[in-house]
Chain A
Amino acid sequence: MSCCAPGADGFAGGVQSLPSDDEVRFSARNLGDGVFQTELSVPAVHCGACIRSIEAGLGRLDGVEAARVNLSTRRVTVRWRGEALPPIVATLARLGYAPTVFDEPEGEKDRTLSELLVAVAVSGFAAGNIMLLSVSVWSGAEGATRDLFHWVSALIALPAMFFAGRIYYRSAWGALKHGRMNMDVPIAIGITMAYALSLYETIHSGPHAYFDASVTLLFFLLIGRSLDHVMRERARTAVKGLARLAPRGALVIGAGGARDYLALSEIEPGMRLLVAAGERIPVDAVVEAGLSDIDRSLVSGESAPQKVAEGDAIQAGTLNLTGPLTLAATARAEDSFLAEMLRMMEAAEGGRARYRRIADRVSAAYAPVVHLTALATFLGWMAATGGDWHRAVTVAIAVLIITCPCALGLAVPIVQVVAARRLFEHGIMVRDGGAMERLAEADVAVFDKTGTLTLGHPRLQNLQQIAPEALAAAAALAANSRHPLSQAVAVYDEGKGPVFEAVAERPGFGVEGRAEGSLWRLGRAEWARGDGASGEVADEGTVLSRDGAVLARLEFDDAIRPDAREALAELEDRLGPVEMLSGDTARACRRVADRLSIAHVEAGLMPADKVARIEALARQGRKVLMVGDGLNDAPALGAAHVSMAPATAADIGRNAADFVFLRDSLSAVPVALDVSRRAGRLVRQNVALAIVYNVFAVPVAILGYVTPLIAAVAMSTSSIIVIANALRLGRVRR
């Protein structure tokens, strides 16, 4: 990574495969006049220097007309001209910002946000102007002047009610139609009644009009709603921008040998596909020709790459590591392994579907109470005044306005926005506020092994037992290969090894090269020792050999994520028991579990077994936090009460997870727990504050002492108190 600020290191990147030029070309949008626009996601961008190096680097390329980085969404938009695609991907990768392609239905982009912002602006304009007029009325304007002010207020408020209020009307109507209650129902009823009453008062030259209250209320609530939306949208686009594991399409070999890049949905069983080294397998297929190693870690949880040759079946989503493969597709994209996982996820939809957000639960109880109180007030005043309906309606509407749920409509989103911001600073993205509430409840943590507790790529383990010269030679040779084991060795390349010539990668075996008059091989033991090794027992290890003589034996294990031990200890302490469920072999699991001192381990699990285990825990009344990354974890992520995934996870897993953490360190899990619990405390405090406020304000309103002035003051004060309380989360406690 080429950048400056701390925190840049450890962002997911590095090991991901780059999108091919075919894929980028395919996703480019034609703007006409031979100009194309390509949007790429660059998750590693995070500061001004990054903007400059990317824009300058891309701007220098031939054919590129303009390059613009968007730091908020971590994307770069490149406009280019001509037939051939400029080397955008290669340039970005060289600069240290590995790009990824993403899907996005056009036109849908943030229409909701624009609508909300316009609504905030209109209601803010109306609220400000009406408040100016209202202050004049409260300070003593009378007679014709007061009536004039009321009329002007009514005129200003009308478009605001229609334009800004329609968001609430729509939502409230949607809820009522389905026989449900949400926060928007009392809001919609409250502002409409207040407006209607005020209009009536104005027509009859009455002294009290509530135009300011209804529009100010709308303004405050819309701010809360916009914040909520911005937070969710931001997390969503950032998650979307990470590597997509299913390619958009594949190179198909036609009848006459012609090669075409077809979209994933157009690939039919029987088609012959060409998958280069370093690309993902698009659909379930059988190898027709070629020899390679396949990384299945995201699909099955197995940590060691697997050799494939002619006739082997491979699943969609696995990564082709070393050699080009010609495949015959056996299933369509929607029938492939990936889609099967999706179906399992739907079937396993667990505690999450049943969970209702605190705000929704409170509002379901709150709205009827408010309406009943207002109705009772109306009836009470009718009885007490002997049928003075005007007085009764006025007081009842004052009750509605006073009880309008500002605290819940504004303070809960603000707590969650501040909390999400906190999490974002720690490299954690959260799907929505409900996820934080669920995380705060979790009482057992379940981890996947490969890619979650470990980084999912191997590390040289027996460094001390290898002679320095042998290591230097192995590293120099390994630098020529993209096999994960080679890359783990190539880290130690300091340019001290011999200079190799005629280097060749032998898919399924290893890499070989000539230097100092000998043939050096790094790879599978029986291959590296040459053909004469037949008499011995099968040897699976990795060795470095020179003319068939073994120089060094290399042992690998999967690197454990930084801070994993501390994070797990903290979780055991504060959350509850920690378990490990893995699809890998019992031996590999045991090694990791021993190092992290995890007591409960289950190995060799199929995706359905993981779901079964989580459901068994749920039946015992436990709330499960599932942390996992693979395709095979996706159903389990969906079944758990709350779930987390690293950014390197399969995209289906990332979409299923409530939280996604961007950095390598596993300390993200306790951090998320801590922030969620504090946010949960603040939400409950705010609800309590709102109740206390109502305990004082409602009797005053019922007794008929509320004037527009008192309503405005009470409403603003309660809003400010709950917002101030929410902002306490802003202070970091570390």
Chain B
Amino acid sequence: MSMLIYLIPVALFLGALALLAFLWALRSGQYEDLDGAAERVLLDDEDEPQTPAKR
């Protein structure tokens, strides 16, 4: 059972990574306009990523 010593932290670390990724996405405004994001993928022109909105 000694592998649990490092397997559990590894599992938790990976989970925490996903959690942080989600929080980052939330903070940087990626959930502000879900419908718009779906449409923008179809636009041809060079679309620069949205600068984080100053709120």
A residues near B, CB below 8 A?
31, 37, 47-48, 51-52, 56, 66, 68-73, 77, 107, 109, 114, 117-118, 121-122, 125, 128-129, 132-133, 144-145, 148, 152, 156
Contact = CB atoms under 8 A, between A and B. Distances in A.
A121 B26 CA distance: 10
B52 to A, nearest CB: 12
Interface in B1-53: 1, 4, 8, 11-12, 15-16, 18-19, 22-23, 26, 31-36, 39-40, 42-43, 45, 50-51, 53
A133 B8 CA distance: 9
Contacts of B4: 145, 148
Contacts of B22: 121
A68 B50 contact: yes
Given A129-B11, A145-B4, A121 B39 contact: no
Most chain-A Cβ atoms within 10 A of its Cβ — which of B18, B35, B51?
A: B35
Contact of A71 (B8, B15, B33, B45): B33
Most chain-B Cβ atoms within 10 A of its Cβ — which of A48, A109, A132, A144?
A: A48
B1 to A, nearest CB: 6
A72 B23 contact: no
Contact of A69 (B8, B34, B36): B36
A48 B33 contact: no
A280 to B, nearest CB: 30
B54 A117 contact: no
Contacts of A47: 39
A72 to B, nearest CB: 5
Interface residues of B, number: 28
B19 A72 contact: no
CB-based closest 4 A-B pairs = A71-B36, A48-B39, A71-B35, A70-B33
A20 to B, nearest CB: 27
A102 to B, nearest CB: 16
A121 B19 contact: yes
Contacts, number: 60
A71 B18 contact: no
Nearest to A47: B39
A71 B31 CA distance: 12
B15 A129 contact: yes
Given A125-B18, A129-B12, 16 more contacts: A37-B54, A48-B40, A48-B42, A51-B43, A52-B43, A56-B45, A71-B35, A72-B36, A77-B53, A117-B26, A117-B31, A128-B15, A129-B11, A133-B8, A144-B1, A156-B12
Contacts of A68: 50
Given A48-B39, A125-B19, A73 B33 contact: yes
A71 B45 CA distance: 18
30 contacts: A37-B54, A48-B40, A48-B42, A51-B36, A51-B39, A51-B43, A52-B43, A52-B45, A56-B45, A68-B50, A69-B36, A70-B32, A70-B33, A71-B35, A72-B35, A77-B53, A107-B55, A114-B26, A117-B26, A117-B31, A121-B22, A121-B26, A125-B16, A125-B19, A128-B15, A129-B12, A132-B11, A144-B1, A152-B8, A156-B12
Most chain-B Cβ atoms within 10 A of its Cβ — which of A69, A72, A132, A148?
A: A72
Contacts of A107: 55
Contact of B15 (A48, A51, A125, A144): A125
B36 A31 contact: no
A52 B53 CA distance: 20
A51 B35 CA distance: 11
A118 B23 contact: yes
Contact of B34 (A72, A121, A129): A72
Contacts of B34: 72
Contacts of A156: 12
A434 to B, nearest CB: 26
Contacts of B40: 48, 51
B1 A145 contact: yes
A420 B35 CA distance: 16
Given A31-B54, A48-B39, A118 B26 contact: yes
A48 B50 contact: no
Given A47-B39, A152-B8, A122 B33 contact: no
